[in-house]
A and B are shown apart, each in its own frame.
Chain A
Amino acid sequence: MSPLGWDTAADLEKPPAEIPSPGEVDVPEGLRAEIEAHMANYPDRRSAALPALAAAQREHGWCSPQAIAQVAAVMRVTPAYLESVASFYDMLETEPVGRHSVYVCTNISCSLRGADALLADFQRAVDGDPEVNVRAFECLGACDIAPMASVDGVYVGPLSSQDIPALLDDVRAGRAVLPERQLARRLVADPHANSTEFPQHPAQGAAHGGANLELPTEDPATARGRREPR
């Protein structure tokens, strides 16, 4: 997934692409209107690069050369400029990916609660389904519901590996994902709605065996494979 010129040779002989002429590029009407509306928001039209690329990505599934050309034609900038932008940001895809995105947060707070195992289980469960793009993501800003994932932009958590099949079913069927776990429904004043797996019932934790201080949320499968807990 390295950019051209990194592991694979760039074609230095090729003349650089110029700003596409509006007549040459077919731009879907809705997309054009959206990009133009974004451009009108800023004193400098280039400020619309991010929202415009995001809109094109929604249309095409990723920032394909065609998508970039369409944005370039409307914004009157070179495709190279837009590619430089698209390749910088994690949410803009420069390779074809599945229509559905599952960003699993694997940063510190989530990984302390077993996010790495969750991600591994997600990847196993998806098993090459081209429609679902499961990837690790840096802190998504929802450590209160760790471990969590952003599924097509909707935050759900706390998740455990048992939730994966139901979650993927919801995604593939186009339903709301695990509605009762969505961040949108959570109350600030109810911290018990947050990450729960962590010994919320200390008595139960003790019943698991005092000597074994293994956290219930921590990744039994991959991380501590040799132990075979449970």
Chain B
Amino acid sequence: MAAADTAAPMLLFTDIDEPGLATREVYERRGGYESLRRALAMSPEDVLAQLEASGLRGRGGAGFAMGKKVSFLPKGAMDKYLVCNADESEPGTFKDRELMQKSPHMLVEGIVIASYAAGATRSFIYIRGEYVLQADALDAALAEAREAGYVGDDILGSGHSLTLVVHRGAGAYICGEETGLLDSLEGKRGNPRLKPPFPANQGLYQGPTLINNVETLATVPAIIRMGGEEYAKLGVETSTGTKLVSVSGHVQRPGNYEIELGIPSREIVYGLAGGPPEGRGVKCWFPGGSSSPVLTADDLDLPYDFDTLAKAGSMLGSGAIIVVDDATPILDVAMKTAKFYRHESCGKCTPCREGTNWTVKMLERIDAGEATPMDLEIMASVQEHIIGNCLCVLGDAMAMPIGSMIAKFKDELEAHMERARLRRGSGDRIASDSALAAQGALANDPRTMLGATGAGDQAPGAHEGAPGTHRGGA
């Protein structure tokens, strides 16, 4: 389980900390833009064939085969667009940030190659507005790339032309959803669109549009360099290549790590990230951002790849592992998750807008001691009614993890409910834990669960989690 066992081949993070890697000079010295030259010497069809052979699956969350996505674009002379989704807002995810900040030329190179394969002549990088440093790095890299003729008209004499614009968002999770992103890029509120038509047919400005995540596009130069088949040898059969994982939460060494897909999850959580601190265990972990159903410590030996995690009832998502240790009440985690999606729901579809709101209200009811065990069933049914009933998957992204928490931690939630009810029922709301313990209410519990929730939530109507509202004061 030592970190040395996981010496993955580094494709994206090779010398990532080298000073000046963000400049063209250093990037070229390390072989940068060689893949672009090689790709432009091939026909677009051959480049596409390499991408398909690589088996590269989208790194943004859905895990759709990248080559196939490119091939969905109609052929022929028309305005086609390539949009790089750099609106990295999935809680727990911070891999694209690192790539754009430290190796922006790799992304630019990947975009130019992908646009060549797709026949796109206009491209945009939609980066979340909070990433100021990263957007500045991209702008600087882009200026250098334009100067060197890697972006612009007739790139390196190939006849392929491409404009590339860095577009800064303004803070909205929903703009990471591909059609919400397109609306936002068109200058509107970021509301998702009805699909079909899919963006490959009718996307940005109603034109055929290829949308890919930063990491997906940044992998393209490596695929061209190695050859698609060689790349496909990395990882496991249906999850090829390397993946950046962002590990955070209750681990001793949070951070970004490049792994080969298919290694045991335990090697990531414990081997690379150091696991929870001494004396603590893993209660649950989100394997792919806060939208993925939680897994428990028993699942840590699962290989970390797309299909295994899907089979286990969760998903690899964006590759963001959030570890929650066994001293944290699951209700706190559920509350944070639900409040996030309530805040970020765009409000277009009723099941999501109302479902996220009601889920938060019911969780607050549990915490306030006003719930009955039936409420858990109602809450689970609310989740079921969200899934699959909206234009986009934002609602599902709350319903899936909340549903998994209700299913896997039912006993704990019921105990939490009961304890909160007793506290409330004891007449005053400041009954101490010791008094409750004397009544036997805390018997099964390692420590009090009436802990940190929700202080300072920004959503309208949020309760202030300060002491004295419904939980104990001094």
Residues of A within 8 A of B (CB): 1-2, 41-44, 46-51, 53-54, 84-85, 88-92, 103-104, 106-109, 111-114, 116-117, 119-120, 123, 135-144, 146, 150, 153-155, 183-184, 187-192, 194-195, 198-200, 202, 205-206, 210, 213, 215, 218-219, 222-226, 228
Query: What chain B residues lie within 8 Å of A41 (beta carbons)?
Result: 165, 167
Separation of A137 and B187 alpha carbons in the complex (Å): 23
- Report, nearest first, the 10 A-B pairs whose CB atoms are least far apart: A223-B452, A143-B248, A90-B171, A89-B170, A49-B187, A46-B187, A91-B171, A202-B278, A153-B132, A191-B253
* Interface-centre pick from B205, B253, B320 (highest chain A CB count, 10 A): B253
Query: What chain A residues lie within 8 Å of B253 (beta carbons)?
Result: 191-192, 194
Partner of A194, one of B133, B255, B453: B255
The reply to whether A108 and B455 contact each other, CB–CB distance below 8 Å, is: no
Partner of A219, one of B322, B433, B452: B452
The reply to whether B255 and A53 contact each other, CB–CB distance below 8 Å, is: no
The reply to whether A108 and B451 contact each other, CB–CB distance below 8 Å, is: no
Query: What chain A residues lie within 8 Å of B94 (beta carbons)?
Result: 141-144
Contacts A112-B328, A200-B252; A222 near B465 (Cβ below 8 A): yes
**18 additional contacts, CB 8 Å, given A44-B186, A84-B189, A143-B91?**
A47-B186, A54-B129, A107-B91, A108-B91, A109-B91, A112-B328, A117-B455, A137-B171, A139-B340, A141-B128, A144-B256, A154-B132, A192-B253, A194-B253, A199-B252, A205-B277, A222-B465, A226-B473
Query: What chain B residues lie within 8 Å of A85 (beta carbons)?
Result: 187-189
The reply to whether A54 and B92 contact each other, CB–CB distance below 8 Å, is: no
Interface range on chain B: under 10, 10 to 19, 20 to 34, or 35 or more?
Answer: 35 or more
**Majority SS at the chain B contact face:** loop
Partner of A117, one of B17, B279, B452: B452
Binary interface encoding of chain B residues 102-139 relative to chain A, with 1 for a CB under 8 A from any of its CBs, else 0: 10000000000000000000100000111111000000
Interface residue B89 (Cβ < 8 Å from any Cβ of A):
yes
Separation of A85 and B346 alpha carbons in the complex (Å): 12
Residues of B within 8 A of A (CB): 13, 16-17, 79, 88-94, 96-98, 101-102, 122, 128-133, 165, 167-173, 184-190, 205, 246, 248-256, 273-274, 277-280, 286, 290, 320, 322, 324, 327-328, 332-333, 336-337, 340, 343-344, 346, 432-433, 447-448, 451-458, 460, 465-467, 472-474
